[in-house]
Structure 1
Amino acid sequence: MAKHDHSEHSGDALVKEAGSVLIESGEQWTTMREDVFRALAAQDRPASAYDIAEIVGKARGKRVAANSVYRILDLFVRTNLANRIESANAYLANTHPGCRHDCIFLICDDCGQADHFDDDRLTGSLRQAGEEHGYSAVRPVVELRGLCAECAG
C-alpha cells in the first residue's frame, strides 16, 4: 500500500493550523468559522451540520442556523479542512489540514465510527479512470462500510 506522509494535529494546534490554511487559501478565519471548526474537531465521530449548529448555538448562547453551518462546512471541504462522509451526510475535521490527498474512509454501520487510511495507488487509479473518461479535477471519494473491530467482536 502506498503511504502518504503528513503531520497530524490535535487540540489548539489543529485549530491554529486550520486557521492558517484557510487564510493562505484567501479566505477569512472568522470567529464563527473558528467556532464551527472547534465543534467539528471535538467530535469523535462524523457530525452533521445540525449537530454542529446545536453545539455552536449552545456555546454562543443563541440559535445558529444549520444553513450557515452547511456553508462553512462546504468551505472547509473545499479548502481541505474537513472531509465529508457522503453516505452519512456528515463531516470530520481533517487532522492534517493543507495536506492534499484522498482518504479512504472505513465507516462502522453499528456505532458510526469513521477511520481513514491512505492508499495513493488506489485513489490514483480512480482519478486516472475519471480523467480517461473526460473528467478533470477528479476527486475520489471512497467509503467502505462494515463493522469496526469493537462492534464485530
Structure 2
Amino acid sequence: MAGHIHTLHEGTALVGAAQTALERSGQQWTTMRAAVFDALAGFERPASAYDIAEAVSKAEGRRVAANSVYRILDLFVDANVARRVESANAYVANAHPDCEHDCIFLVCDACGQTTHIDDDHLSDNVRAAAKKAGFQPQRPVIEVRGRCADCR
C-alpha cells in the first residue's frame, strides 16, 4: 500500500460516509443498520455486540438480539464501515470508511481505550513478510497491548 491521505469523518458526515461505503459494497442501509451504526459510533471505546444491542434496544424501545447485531457488524466490517478489535472481541466505527488500508490498534490493558493509527510502511512490511512465506494476506490485524499515556 502506498502512502495515502484520508479524511476523518464525524457526526452526520460519518454516517453519510458509512452509508455510502455500505451501499458501494452492494448492501442496503436499512433502519436497523443505521441504528446499529449510530450506537456503535456513540461509544468512546470499542463496543461488544452485546453493548451495541443494549444501546439499540434502549433507543428503539424494544429488545434487539445480539445475534442480529453480530450479523450487521460482520457486514460493516466487510464494507470497511467498522473495524474489529480482535483481542477485545469488540468493534469501532471506522472514521474513514472510504479509505482501504490496514489499521493498527493500540489497546490499553488498564482502561480499554483503543487508539487507531495508520502506518503504511509497517503494514506493507507485514504483508511482504507474509507473501515471502508463501502466504496471501487478506486482512492483517495488528494490535499492540499496553498502557495509554493516561494510565502509565
Residue-by-residue CA offset, 1:16-70 (whole Å, 9 max, x unaligned) = 1100111111110000001001100111100000000000011111110101100
> 1:85 — aligned with what?
85
Structure 1 residue ranges (4+ consecutive) displaced by more than 4 angstroms after TM superposition = none
> 1:121 — aligned with what?
121
Aligned residue for 1:26, secondary structure, equals coil
Aligned sequence identity (%):
62
Residue-by-residue CA offset, 1:86-137 (whole Å, 9 max, x unaligned) = 0000000000012001111101111100001111111111112222333335
Normalised by the length of structure 1, the TM-score is 0.94
> 1:148 — aligned with what?
148
Letter in 1 for 2:91: Y
Aligned residue for 1:150, secondary structure, equals coil
Alignment of 1:2-41 (within 5 A): 4-41=4-41
CA distance in 2, matches of 1:81, 1:110: 27
CA distance in 1, matches of 2:130, 2:78: 19
> 1:56 — aligned with what?
56
Please tell me the root mean square deviation across aligned C-alpha atoms, in Å: 1.3
Normalised by the length of structure 2, the TM-score is 0.95
Q: Matched residue pairs, number?
A: 151
Check whether the contact 2:130–2:137 (CA below 8 A) recurs between aligned residues. Answer: no
CA distance in 2, matches of 1:143, 1:3: 20
Does residue 112 (structure 1) correspond to residue 112 (structure 2)? The answer is: yes
Unaligned runs of 5+ in 2: none
CA change 1:4–1:115 in 2 (3 A) is farther
Letter in 1 for 2:144: L
Unaligned runs of 5+ in 1: none
CA change 1:128–1:138 in 2 (3 A) is farther
CA distance in 1, matches of 2:137, 2:21: 20
CA distance in 2, matches of 1:56, 1:78: 21
Check whether the contact 1:4–1:119 (CA below 8 A) recurs between aligned residues. Answer: no
Alignment of 1:65-76 (within 5 A): 65-76=65-76
